[in-house]
Structure 1
Amino acid sequence: MILENFKRESIVPMPVTFISTISENGVRNIAPYSCFMPVLRPFDLVCVASAKRRDTLVNLKSTGEFVINMPGTDMADKVIPTALHVPPDIDEFELAGLKEKPSKKIKAPGIEGCYAWMECKLDHIIEEVYNGFPYVLILGKVVYLEVEDSVYDKESGSWDVEKARPLMMTGSDEGMRFCTVNSIGKFEPYGAMFKNGKDPLERMYKKEEGQECK
């Protein structure tokens, strides 16, 4: 079956994240985003694609801060409440019945109940227009990364997807279908991609003795 180009969400599973921000006036905002990705393995950058008319965009432009919260499947019922178009003076933590998790490096709060939090400082924004539709790419620098101890093995730097049950979605003609990921039990080291069997970025992942894991 041949699909139209814009139906990519019908075949590509996408992560569901909640981006939390705070306005200059102190109003807390949350919005779900699935067009999100890390920017290459060596970098501490993340990229989020967004429509231009979003309170999230207004807030992070004015404050330069945002938190990318990674929810599990138990928070699927919070997607629609945080996606509703409401006036910018509405506290969306209260609207969605969510509690804030104080951030360590920025003022914008995280969301309690998620399994990981990326506190970000705005790096830069790319504004474009495609077929008459304006959109932006938000590049953020991760300044603090935290994950629940129960889902992360600090010795190997791997996490248990079965415990975290990361919330994901696939699109359809009628809406969103929520899902998660499962381990298939197969592992390959990064070095397997190179002739000498060594990962050139290995030193970045080797923690010095006594170094605190952030």
Structure 2
Amino acid sequence: MTTQQTTTGADRYVPTDAADLAALRSAAAGCRGCELHRDASQVVFGRGAPDARVVMVGEQPGDVEDQQGLPFVGPAGRLLRRAVDDAAIPVDQIYLTNAVKHFRFELRGRRRIHQTPDRVHIAACRPWLVAEFAKLRPRVIVVLGATAGQALLGPSFRVTRSRGVPMPWPDSAQRVGDFPDAPAELVATIHPSAVLRADDRDVAYRGLVADLTVAGRLLTRGHP
């Protein structure tokens, strides 16, 4: 549903003394840092093992994720799971999250149509992403799409310029600051939903798998 933007940011809702990801997830349910919470069914926080060696960051939850309260469980998530398998990345080593934790949509009749988050939503929700990274120590970070890239690397980030090319972390994020400095490598690719929208899905899917394969090789290289 289209709503007027009223953004204060999530800073005051993120607990500074959270013991673990579960505590952050619990606190996120009460976030009112932007107006998206008003129309979404619930917050959709990250999921996966706290010691995951791969962190994948997407845009925002979709309609199915909003209903189930879990990231990447809709059509794009199912496609991502297939691509992860084809890229030989162990699924139990992945932590999945989104740059924005509430579903932004436009209501058309009974259908809820996805709307891309604005920069104000990315900025408002960014403290949750920073807090998640503070509890994680991944070997590889995978950026899924432009929104995630802008949240992690700044508004000038473009997937088309950077996809499939390893970048050092946190050096690549220094210009936007405040993320933990645990060393890792970052690989950007398209969001799996872009494959579903592509004119040639086979070509788009092969490109996604190729980028994820780069991430998988980095993982193997770091842990032979």
TM-score range, shorter chain: under 0.3
Structure of greater Rg: 1
Greater helix fraction, Structure 1 or Structure 2: 2
Greater strand fraction, Structure 1 or Structure 2: 1
Report the TM-score when normalising by structure 2: 0.25
